[in-house]
Structure formats: C-alpha cells, structure tokens
C-alpha cells in the first residue's frame, strides 16, 4: 500500500534541526487551528446540518478517525489519488496498518455492515460531521485536515428518488448556510456493464490518438493521465490540465454510451429534481475521483466560489467491495472549510451569541470572592457570564466588558458586599441601579429576556 507514513523523514529532519535552533512550533503544513472567531461559522454549520438532518430524518453517526487502511484501498480504490497519494498511514505496535480517514463513505458503510443495519427498516439514513485527512498540496480551499458533513441513504432499492433526496438535502444545507447562487452539475457514469464497455471505448480513443501523437514526439496528455489511461480511464475526463481538457472534447461521451436501465434511472433522477424545481446542468465530464460511484454523480458549486463545495453520487457496489452483500446506496459530502471560506469572502457573518452575556466586575478581595460565588448562582439560573476576575481595577474590568459587547455589568464593591446588594450597570447608557443580591437573577432575566 502506498500513502504517507506518519513520522516520515521530513518530520524527523525538522525535529533534529529544531533541537539546535530555538524551539518554536507551528501547525503542520496544510493544517490549522480553528480559533473562536472561526468557530462561530463551524457552530453554524453543525447546527444547520443537524437541523437539515432532523428534518429529512437522518440519524447521526460517528466513526473512528482511524480505520484499517485496507478499507480505503478496497472501498475507495487503488487507482484513486486519495489512496495512491494522499493517505496518512501509520503502523500500530501490533503491526496493523491504520489510516487517518480521508473520507467517510467507506467507514459509514463498514459500520452499516458491522452493525447489521440491513435488519433495520430500509433504507437507513445517516449523517456525519468531522475532520478528514488528505496529504494533498495545500492551497486556497485545499487543506490536509479538512472538515466534511455527509449524508448517506443506504439499503433498500436503488430508487432514483433517493438520489434526488440526497441532492435536495445537500442543496438545503448549502442554502441554510446563506449561500444563494447554487450550481448543481450532474452526470451518470452507468453501471458495471455499460461503464466497462465505455472505459474500453475511451481507452481505444486515447490509445489511438496518443500513439499517433507520440510518433510525432508529441505528448497529448499529462503524465498522470498516461497512468490513468491504464489504471482508471474515467479519470481522464476530469483532469484539469489544459491539454487533457482540450483532447477530451473529441472523446466519446459517456451519456451516449450508458445502457437503457441506467439511462432510465438518470432520467428519473432529473425528473424528481424538476418536480422540486432544483436547477441542474448536465456535465458529461463529471466522473468524481473515487472508484465506488455508479450511475448518478454530482457536484455543487456556487458562483465565484472556487472549487466544488460538495459532491456525491450513487455507490451500489461499495458494500460488496468491502465484504458485505449487495446494498444500494447514495450519498454526498460537503466541505465545511470551503463553505466557510466563501462566507468569509462574501462577508456573510453569523452573530456570536454575546447579547445575552452579563459581565461580573468587582472591587476588592471580599467582593472578588462574592463575585466568584455569584457566577455560580447565575449559572443555576441559566444566565451566561463573562468576567476578568484577575484584574483589580474596575476601569480595566469595564473596558473588557465593553470589548466583549456585554449589555449589562454587575458590579460588587466593599459597600455592596456589606449591604448585600449589587450594582446593575447598563453598559450602553452608563446608568446604574442597586438591587438586593437575592433579586439579581430575576432582575437580569427581566432586563435581558423581558421575563
């Protein structure tokens, strides 16, 4: 198995050189910290996904971050970039070869088989949200630790209505993230029979054209495509190299080659999309980079949004490829990093929930103790607090309250401790009033929530 061995030489070299130099650590290449400002978007994505999943009746699943690497070589396919070049693989002390999951469709199907979910009412609808790992070349919108949300419909019949349902679920999720101009590209890559016949046609076309070109010492396709021609010819169609893209214009189209049951299936998927008025564009070059797909494949873009925000398709053979029985299935994965990047570029912001937060300020040691206890009292009343209890100066504390946009500050000084009262300060107007300590929770609820 190829892939990236964890603790590779490159990392060992940096370890050695960091001993001599002053030690300083940064996130590994292609990986990043998600800081609180960024996490507002992540929280929004998770809650949007959870709402959509609840509406369309998907149950949440969490599979381990590590899986046996063979799951991906069998499921995703040896000829794919993910398995061939991008997996982080580690050997355990027991000698197992494990991979950081590069995607979750194969793990979810593994779980479906392992837990006998074929005995549940079919199909089973599952969704996930979490980090995935691919050793790709980092660039805009391409990370080595990437977050995906995914929806899968597994089992039952290979009914085209489920393909449409998955697409609708994905579109509704993207809409809920406030992305408006959604572009859906769709294609069918047929079944085992018609796809194999098409692959041969494609290979014949490429072999003939590239052979006559090489006689003229002319290279028509890139090095990767020369390999793909033998290993995974469908991938010749979605190569981004300009020469390859030019040549494919004259290649035979897959939509002319699929068999009539596949054609009928595809037609019905499109009809279901028409019923719910989801617009789409046919793209006969769309094949997707993973081996497990058959029939419907699709990708979701937004205007001016760079790469795909998500993609998916039908994968009826995956269960058999990883040792299960024939199980029709269809799913989608959406890239949270890309969706968030797009939202930030467009300056679409989600309000952090600051409005309901009360700031606790103190003057003096006795008041500090009382403030510390007050926070717990407010916790029991469901009131969120912020504070800067390490600071002594009231002015410095109120500055923090201002920066945090807290609408109300509660101030405790020596006098208030003695009299068992608290000052409630309106941070906007600066007006203050004294209330008995026992009434403070009630008073804040009235001010913040009008209760």
Region near ligand AMP per CB under 6 A, out of 140-148, 262-270, 381-389, 423-431: 140-148
Closest approach, Cβ 120 to ligand AMP, in A, equals 26
* DSSP annotation of 413: -
Q: Which is nearer to ligand AMP, 153 or 333 (CB)?
A: 333
Does position 136 bind ligand AMP by CB under 6 A? yes
Region near ligand AMP per CB under 6 A, out of 136-144, 203-211, 261-269, 387-395: 136-144
Q: What share of the chain is helix, strand, coil (3-state, %, to 5)?
A: 45, 20, 35
Segment (H or E) for 67: strand 66-68
Residue 327 and residue 317 in contact, taking contact as beta carbons nearer than 8 Å: no
Closest approach, Cβ 321 to ligand AMP, in A, equals 17
Does position 311 bind ligand AMP by CB under 6 A? yes
Closest approach, Cβ 146 to ligand AMP, in A, equals 4
Closest approach, Cβ 297 to ligand AMP, in A, equals 10
Sequence-distant (6+) residues with CB within 8 A of 91 are: 5, 97, 98
Peptide bond into 123 cis (omega under 30): yes
Does position 233 bind ligand AMP by CB under 6 A? no
Region near ligand AMP per CB under 6 A, out of 59-67, 161-169, 304-312, 400-408: 304-312
Residue 371 and residue 378 in contact, taking contact as beta carbons nearer than 8 Å: no
Length of the chain: 451
Q: Which is nearer to ligand AMP, 142 or 368 (CB)?
A: 142
Question: Measured between alpha carbons, how far is 95 from 330 in angstroms, rounded to an integer?
Answer: 34
Segment (H or E) for 421: strand 421-426
- One residue of 128, 143, 151, 293 binding ligand AMP per CB under 6 A: 143
Closest approach, Cβ 31 to ligand AMP, in A, equals 11
Does position 309 bind ligand AMP by CB under 6 A? yes
Write the DSSP string, 194-233: HHHHHHHHHHHHHHHHHHHHHHTT---S-HHHHHHHHH-G
Q: Which is nearer to ligand AMP, 148 or 169 (CB)?
A: 148
Please give the residue whose beta carbon sits closest to ligand AMP in the complex: 335
Partners of 187 in beta bridges: 297
Does position 424 bind ligand AMP by CB under 6 A? no
Write the DSSP string, 243-294: HHHHHHTTSPPGGGTS-HHHHHHHHHHHHHHHHTT---EE-TT---S-TT-E
Partners of 425 in beta bridges: 409, 432
Residues in binding contact with ligand AMP, number by CB under 6 A: 18
Sequence-distant (6+) residues with CB within 8 A of 44 are: 177, 350
Does position 166 bind ligand AMP by CB under 6 A? no
Q: Which of 177, 148, 143, 150 is nearest to 33 (CA)?
A: 143
Does position 187 bind ligand AMP by CB under 6 A? no
Strand arrangement, sheet containing 432-436 = 385-387, 358-362, 408-412, 421-426, 432-436
Closest approach, Cβ 333 to ligand AMP, in A, equals 4
Q: Which is nearer to ligand AMP, 89 or 410 (CB)?
A: 89
Binding mask 190-219 for ligand AMP (x = CB under 6 A): ------------------------------
Does position 313 bind ligand AMP by CB under 6 A? no
Does position 71 bind ligand AMP by CB under 6 A? no
Binding mask 318-337 for ligand AMP (x = CB under 6 A): ---------------xxx-x
Closest approach, Cβ 315 to ligand AMP, in A, equals 11
Does position 186 bind ligand AMP by CB under 6 A? no
Region near ligand AMP per CB under 6 A, out of 19-27, 143-151, 163-171, 228-236: 143-151
Neighbours of 239 (CB within 10 A): 18
Binding mask 92-121 for ligand AMP (x = CB under 6 A): -----------x------------------
* DSSP annotation of 45: H
- One residue of 146, 286, 383, 398 binding ligand AMP per CB under 6 A: 146
Does position 135 bind ligand AMP by CB under 6 A? no
Partners of 68 in beta bridges: 98
Q: Which is nearer to ligand AMP, 84 or 337 (CB)?
A: 337
Give the number of C-alpha atoms closer than 13 A to the C-alpha of residue 110, restricted to the C-beta side.
Answer: 20
Question: Measured between alpha carbons, how far is 275 from 24 in angstroms, rounded to an integer?
Answer: 58
Q: Which is nearer to ligand AMP, 307 or 407 (CB)?
A: 307
Query: Which stretches of the chain bind ligand AMP, using CB under 6 A?
Result: 103, 134, 136, 141-143, 146, 148, 289, 308-311, 333-335, 337-338
């Amino acid at each position: 198995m190829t892939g990236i061995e964890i603790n590779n030489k490159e990392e060992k070299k940096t370890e050695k050189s960091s001993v001599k130099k002053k030690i300083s650590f940064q996130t590994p290449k292609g990986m990043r910290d998600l800081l609180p400002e960024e996490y507002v978007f992540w929280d929004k994505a998770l809650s949007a996904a959870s709402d959509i999943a609840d509406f369309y009746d998907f149950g949440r699943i969490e599979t381990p971050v590590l899986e046996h690497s063979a799951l991906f070589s069998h499921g995703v396919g040896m000829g794919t970039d993910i398995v061939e070049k991008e997996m982080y693989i580690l050997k355990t002390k027991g000698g197992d070869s494990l991979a950081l999951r590069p995607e979750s469709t194969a793990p979810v199907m593994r779980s479906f088989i392992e837990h006998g979910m074929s005995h549940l009412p079919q199909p089973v609808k599952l969704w996930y949200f979490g980090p995935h790992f691919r050793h790709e070349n980092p660039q805009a919108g391409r990370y080595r630790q990437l977050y995906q949300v995914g929806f899968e419909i597994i089992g039952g019949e290979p009914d085209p209505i489920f393909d449409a349902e998955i697409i609708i679920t994905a579109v509704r999720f993207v809409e809920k993230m406030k992305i408006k101009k959604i572009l859906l590209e769709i294609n069918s890559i047929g079944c085992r029979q018609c796809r194999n016949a098409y692959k041969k046609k494609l290979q014949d076309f490429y072999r003939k054209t590239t052979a006559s070109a090489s006689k003229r010492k002319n290279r028509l396709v890139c090095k990767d495509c020369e390999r793909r021609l033998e290993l995974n010819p469908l991938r010749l169609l979605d190569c981004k190299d300009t020469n390859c893209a030019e040549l494919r214009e004259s290649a035979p189209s897959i939509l002319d080659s699929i068999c009539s049951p596949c054609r009928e299936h595809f037609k019905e998927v499109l009809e279901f999309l028409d019923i719910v008025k989801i617009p789409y564009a046919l793209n006969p070059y769309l094949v997707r980079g993973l081996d497990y797909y058959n029939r419907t494949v699709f990708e979701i873009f937004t205007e001016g949004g760079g790469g795909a925000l998500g993609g998916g398709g039908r994968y009826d053979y995956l269960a058999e490829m990883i040792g299960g029985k024939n199980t029709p299935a269809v799913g989608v994965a959406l890239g949270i990093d890309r969706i968030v990047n797009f939202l930030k570029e467009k300056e679409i912001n989600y309000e952090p929930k600051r409005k309901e937060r009360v700031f606790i300020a103190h003057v003096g040691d006795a008041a500090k103790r009382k403030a510390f206890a007050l926070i717990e009292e407010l916790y029991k009343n469901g009131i969120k607090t912020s504070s800067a209890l390490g600071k002594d100066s009231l002015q410095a504390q109120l500055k923090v309250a201002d920066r945090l946009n807290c609408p109300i500050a509660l101030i405790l000084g020596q006098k208030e401790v003695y009299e068992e009262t608290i000052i409630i300060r309106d941070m906007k107007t600066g007006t203050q009033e004294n209330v008995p300590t026992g009434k403070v929770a009630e008073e804040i609820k009235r001010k913040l929530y009008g209760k």
